[in-house]
Structure formats: C-alpha cells, structure tokens
Structure 1
Amino acid sequence: MANEITYEDIIKGVRNHDYKPVYFLMGEESYYIDKIADFIADTVLKENEKEFNQIIAYGNDVDIATIISTAKRYPMMSDYQVVIIKEFQNVNNIDELSFYLQNPQPTTILVLCYKNGVIDKRKKLTADIQKVGILFDSKKMKDAQIPMFVSSYLKRKSIDIEPKAAELMAEFVGSDLSRLSSELEKLIISLSKNEKRITCDHIERNIGISKDYNNIELRNALIYKDVLKANKIVKYFNDNPKTNPIQLTLSMLFNFYSNLMLAYYAPVKNEQGIAQQLGLKFAWQAKDYLSAMNKYTGVKVMNIISDIRCCDASSKGIGGNSISNGDLLKELVFKILH
C-alpha cells in the first residue's frame, strides 16, 4: 500500500540507483515532499548532465500535455533525464497522466510534488502510479512525534540533545518541520567547535525560549498542581506576550487534557497501556498522563476542556469579552488548579 512507503524507503532506493519512472509525492506535510524532490535533483545526475537533462517547473506555468511531452523525451548524453514539477496540485486534468503511465519513458524520472492535499486513492490514476512508480503520502506529524524528529534530525548531524530541550523546541516551533529544521540548523551553527550536545541553555540563548518559563514547564506545574510555579509562569507570559502567545498555550493545554481524557479509557492503565491508547511511540511518553490521572478526576478533566474552549473563544473576542489575554490565562489556570 502507498501509505507503507516511507521517506527513508524512497531515499534508500534513490541512493541505490533503484530509480522509478514516476514519484508522486503528495500530502499535508511539505517538508518530506521537498526533501525527496531535492535529493533526486541533487544526486541522480552529474553536474555536467543537469543543464540539458534536468527540468524543474511549477504547476502554474505548465499544463499536463507539456509535462507528458517533456517526460517522453530522451536524455542527451546521459542515462536519465529528471523532470520535477513543483506545486503539481495547480495543474488541471491530471487524470490524463494515466495515458503516459501505460508506457512511461524508462529513461525519465518524473517527480510530481502535490502539496496540501492528496488525490482520490479510488481513482484509476492512483492504481496506475502504483503499478510503475511511487505514490508517497506525506502526512502531518503528530505533536507527540515532534521531539523524536528533533532528536533524529540532530543525530544525523552527529549532535545530541537533552530530552527536555527537544520537547522545548517541539513546543515552541510546533509541527512545521521546515521551520523546525531551520531553527535546528541555527542551533547547530551556534555550537562551538567541540560542542556536540544541545541543552536548554543553548535554546534560551539562541532561540529566545526561556528554559524555566515555557509551555512545558506550565504543563508540568499543572500536572503536579504546583500553584506557585504555575502562577509565576503565567505572570512571565503576561509580561512577554510576543514570545508566549496565548493561542499556543491554549493549544498545548487542549491537546494535553484531551489526551488525558482518552487515557482514562485505556484498558490497562500503566505506561504501556496508555501509550497504546494514545498512539504514543514510546511507553515513557505516557508518564505525564499517569501522574495527571492521580491528580485529576475524569469529571474535572471534562470541565477543564470546557474551560479551555471558553478561554479560547474569549481570547478571540467572541462574546464581547474585554478581559486581557493575560487575565484570561490567569483565570483559566486558577480553574484548572482548584
């Protein structure tokens, strides 16, 4: 099935010269679409072959007939030609590609980048792509997977990172992997020659996130009902609204307490059982939910989720509420803790 093909599978195949006539790269996560297209553009042809045999165009500038005509050409003084169409979602009548796929040019590597959506997998085009090439669905990464992405990204660069620092980056940047990788590159550049480990101090100095006053620390304070710490963080957020927007905080709180509500329905209420219930990759990621379950009842969590929704609405001006975002968050944290 198409969803079983991973980014790593495709990169490995290209690296081993196991080229396919077509790579249809689609999905909500543009990061992996761009990475695969760039890898093919960088590695398949030698530099002296690219001038005549590598074509990169955009969907707004070409039609399906031109794409097919270009793909049917033979390479010049090269074994392959590479044709990359970016923003392929802007091309009309893409179903006509099926005619080309019945007999694709074996010396052409056609890369189609279809972003911000997927094609209907029930269509004939989907089956035709899978018969001769690669159909890759680049799905948005879940929030719980982002810290692991951070660690893996840095590991490939021979850099280690503290687990808390990885969580901090994930919370601050979110699931935009292109932006996240850019911020990680900034951190790598900031390291001195002999440094091989990124800490929370590095992030505070170079990214502008406080290691003590952030959404992760607020979540931890709420989990353990540390009233003093929670209120200190809320005050810091109120004093620094640009780097601590309330919408980011509310999103974090809503995701956590929504997952906590689901955790109560886990058949086995240990780390392994809750991790399985929530779809977490590692059992240790369920530790915070277990701790919170000892502090909050299911009914209280339902009320908290309702309070977060009301706070979110008020922060957007719904209901004519004139309370500042700082006071809204302070009131919400009070309700959560009491």
Structure 2
Amino acid sequence: MVRSIRDVMQELKKGIVQPVYLLYGMEALLIDEMVTSIQQRALPGGIDDFNSMKFHYDEQPVQLAVQEAETLPFMSERKFVLIHNCGAFTTAKSPRVDHNTDALQAYLENPAPYSTVVITVGAEKLDERKKLTKTAQKTAVVVPFQALKENECRDWVIGEVKRQKAAITGDGVNRLILSVGTNLRLLRSEIEKLALYAGEGGTITEEVVDDLATRTMEQNVFVFIDEVVRLRVDRAMRMMYDLLKNREEPIKLLFLITRQIRIMFQIKVQTGRGYTMQQVAQQIGVHPYAAKIAGEQGHSYTPKQLERLLFELADLDYKIKTGQIGDRAALEMFLLTLPQKAGRGASAGAR
C-alpha cells in the first residue's frame, strides 16, 4: 500500500511498526532519516549488532538478507533488516552479485512477524511490471520520496536553519537554493556552516550566503546569470572575471545569458496571455522552479525591453562569428551597457 511520508512518521510516533517498508526516490537524505526512525521504533531497547543488519544490493545476495529476516531475534522482540538500494524493483541489474529474487518474493508474500525489513530504492520510479513491485504494493508499506517542490524546499531550509538555532531571510533562502541547488544533503551541510557563522540567534542573509556558501562551477555560472539579469553589474563583472579565470568561455556565458533572457521573455508574454507559470514551464520545456526564478527576474522588464536585449545579443553573436569583435570584449561591453539597453528607469512593476 502506498503511504505518504507524513502518515508513516505519525504512525511511527505512535509506536506502530510494519513488517516491510519499501522506500524509493531520489531524496536520499529524507529516506535515510526515515530508515533511522523505523530502526529506532523497531528496536526500542537499543540498536545492537545482533538484531540490526544492513545489506547492500550491489554487494551482497538479497537471499542473505531474507535469511536474516527469517531468523529469530537474539534476546529482543524484533529484528531490523535493511536492504539498501535494491535494484530488484527497477530495470537495473547487479552483474557482480547472484541474487535469488524468488526468495525476496516469497518473503514479501509472507513476512516474518518478528522482523522489520526496510528496502530502499534509489530511483524516481519503480518498475510496476515486475511481480516483486506488484506484491510489495499489496503487502508492504510503499513510500515515495519525490523531489521537493520549490515551496517545500524553502520550508525545509527554514526549518533546518531553525533547528540549528538560527534564522534566515527570504532573500537568504532564495540565494542559498540558487547557489547550492535542491540537494538536501548539500543544503544541510551548507546550513550547518552558515548557522555556525551566524551564531545562536543570528540571521543568515543573502550576503552571508554569497560570502560563505560553497558552489560548483555550474552553480557559479547560474548565480552569475542571476546577477546579470537583475542588473547588478558590479557583482556580475566580478563573477565574470572569476569564471574566465576558471576557463569558462565568454561565448558560453553569452549563450547562457541569451537563453535566460529568452526564457524571461517567453514567460512574460505567455503569462500576459493568461497562462499559469506551470503551463508556461511545460510549454517552453523548463523546470517549474526555473520558470519561477525567470519570472521573478523578468519582473522589472517590459516585453519590449527583453525583446530589444535579444536583438542586441543576436547582433553581438553575428559580430563575433564574423570576426568584428572578440567574444570577451563582446561580453564585457554587453554587461557594462546592459542597464542603459535594458532601460534602467523601468519600474519594478513593469509588465
């Protein structure tokens, strides 16, 4: 039976533990947290080496885990068995290990009442054509861990910062997600560092995130584009020189700027026609969160201004390809003249 994360956690708080759990999805941190919660409830007397077993599907035959689950616990009411990243529920194969999935199938049909078996699957979807999956959906508690939506990710960040006894501004949350991405494990690591810097009762601001958050090159480029389209030219220029020092190509940066402004233009036009942000995201083929960011970035532009910038970038691209100007000089010139070309006097409420 498919259950939500919240429902299962509420059940665990009441001390109710089911014989078999199948946890799947790409949010590894949330899956790990639920595994820990189930383990603590299954072994209330304390976790020990005799009654808590972990098996990795890529390294150990799944039938060994089944044998452990069928073996009576030692001086305890229950036994806890974890089968990590079990590819038997997907199309993935484990060439190094000889698995007897029939043993797992038989166990799912008749699980031992004295064991709690948790199976994790690091995949967005289960292969519902498989007999194993169909059986698990009938006899086990199946919990999907889908990627958090933008508002859910924001709430998670705020809650995690609060847990670290600090606070964070709205702009700080936006910048952190923009800089680090939505991987919760990376976000938690960065939040711990930022909260330590802010101190107990302190506040994490956008400036603190900019100064301290660790970013990959890809995320640095993403933040650079954000600075450009928000007309923060001084900060954009500094980031540009850092990116060029790290061997990012000027022509690539110009391409990414063009792509972002095109997305902003499409969102501006389509939302003006009455389409929702979700609908526009589907139409232009971008993630809803990326569409939301682009919508915010384009808030102070008119469609005409965005269209004019696209023509300007197309003209620069032509001049670069015909040898009339170097790509680095073109990038610098575009950034330095951007406020004038965008119409710096445009009001924040321009539509």
Give the alignment's TM-score, normalised by structure 1: 0.71
Judge conservation of contact 1:143–1:174 (CA < 8 Å) in 2: no
In 1: Cα distance, 2:257 partner to 2:271 partner = 21
Deviations 1:27-47 (A, max 9, x none): 233222222223333443246
Change (3 A) 1:331 1:97: farther
Q: Residue 180 of structure 2 contacts residue 214 of structure 2 at CA under 8 Å; is this kept in 1?
A: no
Q: Show the counterpart of 1:36.
A: 34
Tell me which structure has the larger Cα radius of gyration. Answer: 2
Contact 2:165/2:195 (<8 A) preserved: no
Q: CA deviation at 1:146?
A: 3.8
Paired residue total: 309
Partner of 1:132: 139
CA deviations on 1:199-258 (whole Å, 9 max, x unpaired) are 23433453368xxx99558536525xx4xx33x233211332399996998879857854
Counterpart residue number, 2:55: 57
The one-letter code sitting in structure 1 at the alignment partner of 2:105 is S
* Identity score, percent: 19
* Aligned: 1:168 with 2:175: yes
Deviates further, 47-56 or 296-305: 296-305
The separation in 2 between residues aligned to 1:245 and 1:36, in whole angstroms, is 42
Pairing partner for 1:274 from 272, 277, 285: 277
Q: 1:303 to 1:242 in 2, by over 3 A?
A: closer
Report the aligned-residue RMSD. 4.4
**How many angstroms apart in 2 are the aligned matches of 1:276 and 1:183?**
33
Q: Could you tell me how far 1:26 is from its partner in structure 2?
A: 1.8
Verify: 1:291 aligned to 2:296, yes or no: no
CA distance in 1, matches of 2:76, 2:304: 66
Q: Name which of structure 1's ranges 177-186 and 232-241 shifts more when overlaid on structure 2.
A: 232-241
* Change in CA separation of 1:148 and 1:49 when aligned onto 2, cut-off 3 Å: closer
Corresponding residue for 1:118?
125
Gaps of 5+ in 1: 315-322
Unaligned regions of 5+ residues in structure 2, if any?
88-93, 282-286, 321-325, 343-351
Within 2, Cα distance between the matches of 1:31 and 1:245?
33
Task: Flag the 1:122–1:190 CA change in 2: closer, same or farther, 3 A.
Answer: same
The aligned amino acid for 2:238 is Y
Q: Deviations over 1:232-290 (max 9, x none)?
A: 233211332399996998879857854762564348649xx436755969xx9796266
CA displacement, residues 175-205 of structure 1 (integer Å, 9 cap, x when unaligned)? 2221111111112222334x24322343345
Counterpart AA for 1:167: N
Quick one: which amino acid aligns to residue 189 of structure 1?
A: L
1:17 corresponds in structure 2 to 15
1:261 aligns with 2:269: no
**Do the aligned partners of residues 191 and 291 (structure 1) sit closer, same or farther apart at CA in structure 2, a change above 3 Å counting?**
closer
Distance of aligned partners of 1:122 and 1:327 in 2 relative to their CA distance in 1, 3 Å threshold: farther
Residues of 2 paired with 1:109 and 1:303: CA distance?
Answer: 63
**Map of 1:207 onto structure 2:** 213
Change (3 A) 1:251 1:75: farther
